[in-house]
Amino acid sequence: MRLDAHTLEQTNILKYYRVTRKWACKTYGLTEGDLELLIYLRCIGRFTINDFKNGELTISWDKKRWQRLRRDGFIEVWRERNRRDSKYAIYKTSEKTNTIIRKIYRILLGEESIPETSRSTFQKRETYTDKVMADAIREMNSKKR
């Protein structure tokens, strides 16, 4: 199935992208740059450290991003470096990352809603931003029904 611009526009998939992105970042402890980069890397599939660096060119610079994403389990090794053959390491996004990104797509397509329970991220309403985001999430979820 070929998807054209008009069909994609009709889905309104980007209407709630900002709200969904903010929710995902706060829920999973990512920065917006981290999330954008993980989406880019997932599209590539298997990647090298140079692919990571190329993807990082368009987002805010974070010296510790690579180590943090590896340590927190968002990126994992697909093939270790082989010094004997001078082969470099190849990486992939983890199942944890893939699950998060699939969930974002389901939310954007209206197949799933962002949780509005008292335990969810913005529902605590501790700051003004939390209050605004909680209201935006409630409005977004009500429009999908």
Domains of the chain: 5-112 (1.10.10.10)
Q: Which two tokens stand for residue 144?
A: 């999908």
Least confident of 17-21, 91-95, 128-132: 128-132
Higher-scoring residue by pLDDT: 85, 79: 79
The answer for residues whose C-beta is within 8 angstroms of residue 70's C-beta and 6 or more apart is 76
Sign of the CA dihedral 97, 87, 44, 49?
A: positive
Q: Is the pLDDT reported for residue 4 higher than 90?
A: no
Give dist(CA 92, CA 98) in Å, integer: 10
Is 19 within 8 Å of 140 (Cβ atoms)? yes
The greatest distance separating any two alpha carbons of the chain, rounded to the nearest whole angstrom, comes to 58
Stated pTM of the model: 0.85
The yes-or-no verdict on residue 122 having pLDDT over 80 is no
Half-sphere exposure (Cβ direction) of 125: Cα atoms closer than 13 Å? 11
State the first-to-last Cα distance of the chain, in angstroms, to the nearest integer.
27
Residue 55 has pLDDT above 80, yes or no: yes
Mean pLDDT, residues 130-144 taken together = 85
Whole-number Å distance between alpha carbons of 138 and 118:
12
pLDDT exceeds 80 at position 117: no
Average pLDDT of the chain is: 88
Indicate the range of 3-7, 23-27, 94-98 predicted with least confidence: 3-7
Is residue 41 scored above 70 in pLDDT? yes
Average pLDDT over residues 119-144: 79
Residue 124, pLDDT > 70, answer no
Mean pLDDT across the stretch 14-35? Answer: 93
Residue type, 15: K
Single-letter amino acid code for the residue at 118 = S
Residue 115 has pLDDT above 60, yes or no: yes
